[in-house]
Amino acid sequence: MSHSESFLAPSAVKHRPVEGEHLLNNLRWRYAVKKFDPARQIESATWSALEHASIHSPSSFGLQPWKFVVIEDRALREKLRGASWNQSQITDASKLVVFARKTRLTQSDVDQYIARIAHVRGVSRESLADFHKMITGFASKPGFDTGLWAAKQVYIALGVFLTSAAMLGIDACPMEGFDPGQYYEILGLSSSGLAATVVATAGYRAADDPFAHLKKVRFSEAEVIVRR
């Protein structure tokens, strides 16, 4: 089966759990790679799985206010590196993904989503009228900050991407250190209604990345978890 379009109901999917220690070891293995091996590329089926894992990210009302810009073009990546404090991951990683948020949530966006639900589920748009009305009300509420709301959703997708990469054995580095204005220009986003929100690079760590050999630092369970 192709990754691309499965359209199953969750109840129709065969789930295979992993053990807790398996999950945790893969999360302990991951870290923010500072130096990628520029010679190692991610094999296409594995990359496709990671793209589709990201497409499956949950979002508020399922609205998916995002696009994921996957950049292969070397010249473009050189330019983006210049807009990213010259960080080497931008050019040396196998893949570069710009997680872009929608800056507006228009009636057309809402209508497109409702049409998509009708298509996937094989139901009429009329049967979705109540949900359509509810989403329209949500999106047009006075004071609703679309950009902030969409940015938060994009960060869910980033969390899904990074966890999924760790499960697949793909190294990654999330990056906020870039100039969104320059990205806007370089990627030609002006008429797109999109804004670069956060970046992830993905590939394989260089054997001599010193950061792979430093112990991961997290606050203790007692410091992070509050029990009530």
Binding to a second copy (CB under 8 A) within 133-172 occurs at 148, 151-153, 155-164, 167-169
- Least separation, in Å, of the C-beta of 38 and a second copy? 19
Q: State yes or no: residue 25 binds a second copy (CB under 8 A).
A: yes
Give the nearer residue to a second copy in terms of CB position, either 142 or 213.
Answer: 213
- Least separation, in Å, of the C-beta of 135 and a second copy? 13
The SS3 of residue 100 is: strand
Give the nearer residue to a second copy in terms of CB position, either 68 or 184.
Answer: 68
Q: State yes or no: residue 16 binds a second copy (CB under 8 A).
A: yes
- Least separation, in Å, of the C-beta of 201 and a second copy? 13
**C-alpha–C-alpha distance, residues 125 and 184, integer Å:** 35
Give strand pairing partners of 205: 36
- Least separation, in Å, of the C-beta of 88 and a second copy? 18
Residue with tokens 């228009």: 106
Query: How many residues are recorded in the chain?
Result: 228
Token pair recorded at residue 187? 């990627």
Give the nearer residue to a second copy in terms of CB position, either 84 or 153.
Answer: 153
**C-alpha–C-alpha distance, residues 187 and 184, integer Å:** 6
Q: Give 47's contacts (C-beta < 8 A, 6+ positions apart).
A: 94, 95, 170, 202
Give the nearer residue to a second copy in terms of CB position, either 29 or 140.
Answer: 29
Site for a second copy in 71-130 (CB under 8 A): 71-73, 76, 100, 116-117, 120-121
- Least separation, in Å, of the C-beta of 205 and a second copy? 8
Least Cα distance to 76 among 62, 64, 90, 65 occurs for 90
CB-CB contact of 54 with 157 (8 Å): yes
Give the nearer residue to a second copy in terms of CB position, either 151 or 195.
Answer: 151
- Least separation, in Å, of the C-beta of 39 and a second copy? 19
Site for a second copy in 185-214 (CB under 8 A): 187, 198, 212-214
CA gyration radius, the chain:
20
> Which range, of 29-37, 82-90, 129-137, touches a second copy by CB under 8 A?
29-37
Residue with tokens 């993904």: 97
CB-CB contact of 70 with 51 (8 Å): yes
> Which range, of 42-50, 85-93, 129-137, touches a second copy by CB under 8 A?
42-50
**C-alpha–C-alpha distance, residues 207 and 196, integer Å:** 31
